[in-house]
Amino acid sequence: MKIGITCYPTYGGSGVVATELGIELAARGHDVHFITYQQPFRLTGREVGIHFHEVAVTTYPLFQYPPYDLALASRMAEVAEFYKLDLLHVHYAIPHSVCALLARQMLAARGVRLPFITTLHGTDITLVGQDPGYLPITKFGIEQSDGVTSISDDLKRSTERDFDVYGGLHGPIEVIHNFVNCDVYKPDEARRTELRPQYAAADEKLIIHLSNFRRVKRVGDVVEVFARIAKQVPARLMLIGDGPDRSIAEHLALSHGIEDRIHFLGKQDSVQDLLPLGDLLLMPSEMESFGLAALEGMACGVPCVATRVGGVPELVDHGANGLLYAVGDVEGMAAGAIEILTDRARLEALATAARKTAQDKFCTTRIIPQYEQYYARVSVQ
């Protein structure tokens, strides 16, 4: 098929999922066209079967806010007509659903059919989408979509409840979970031997946190939990990512006197090279509609200590392949982490189970065909 994909191309879960989906679809012989304001960060620009169409936003002194949405809708229609796309797949409802709707209408007026699918990722429903300024139009964009997918059962339920979309949809919301390529994200002993000494001594545990450092990630809790771990277990913390709350983490590290035990790596392109170096991943988020970072860690054989929110329990089974706690339960998370970090056999059992969960339930080989089947259904509707 010829598929147009629109997403936020910068660091963030929805962009990662959209980009990895494009890569996997292209590897299966589909022609994939990314229509975004910059090349998605996980693409090199040299992938076979992947094309990138930049959306240029013209500014004018009259525009206090340059109309990106219009430029995107216009480019979607142009690319779809020129390359004869079978469908558009937009990731993150705001504003992409409404842009796709405009593109569909522009082409319909010229006798060209362009169905579009919206994938809901989380904060487009649970946070930003709740804003009264965005809710009505986001609901409209979702209802007008030819198909809607959600990355977890929990997000599907939240959308149905908070957006009251039952009647307006073309069909039920299809749950297609986040996925990971288990051949790329995998335990890697050679890499551990080569790279781990840069970040932790042989007798130290390496704890990892990976996020965009937004408020919802509770990066402060990451440092609080680590401070408690570091009092009892020789350990280092690797923070991957950057964002508004990085300075909170830096401030807390200084106040606990543990700044020399923390590696602030900033944004990283190849997290698959870093995750296998860890022993445990911390994800104490206020909300996660799925928790892709945890899945990527699990595929690398790194179990997580996380919060019992949103779709995380669809991935993490407390005590079996990771540990779950209430939001803000810093003491509980620290105690759980210390317990498993000091019990080698238990840590290994969790690591093995985490990898197995990723392989059995969330591997690309299992999830990508679900998208292909859904595309086929929607494009013939």
**Which residues form the interface with ligand GMT (CB under 6 A)?**
12-15, 17, 92, 121-123, 151, 178, 212, 214, 216, 287-292, 310
Q: How far is the CB of 177 from ligand GMT (least distance, A)?
A: 9
Pair 208, 275: CB distance under 8 Å: yes
Report how far residue 31's alpha carbon sits from residue 197's, in angstroms, rounded to the nearest whole number: 42
Nearer to ligand GMT, 86 or 296 (CB): 296
Nearer to ligand GMT, 148 or 338 (CB): 148
Q: How far is the CB of 365 from ligand GMT (least distance, A)?
A: 19
Report how far residue 1's alpha carbon sits from residue 69's, in angstroms, rounded to the nearest whole number: 26
Report how far residue 107's alpha carbon sits from residue 251's, in angstroms, rounded to the nearest whole number: 52
Dihedral of CA atoms 40, 42, 47, 49 in degrees, nearest 10, equals -50
Q: Distances from the Cα of 7 to the Cαs of 38, 118, 324, in angstroms?
A: 10, 10, 30
Q: How far is the CB of 167 from ligand GMT (least distance, A)?
A: 26
Nearer to ligand GMT, 104 or 121 (CB): 121
Nearer to ligand GMT, 92 or 228 (CB): 92
Q: How far is the CB of 344 from ligand GMT (least distance, A)?
A: 30
Nearer to ligand GMT, 103 or 219 (CB): 219
Nearer to ligand GMT, 18 or 200 (CB): 18
Report how far residue 364's alpha carbon sits from residue 259's, in angstroms, rounded to the nearest whole number: 38
Q: How far is the CB of 283 from ligand GMT (least distance, A)?
A: 9
At 174, list the tokens.
């299809």
The full DSSP string for 18-48 is: HHHHHHHHHHTT-EEEEEESS--TT--S--T
Q: How far is the CB of 13 from ligand GMT (least distance, A)?
A: 3
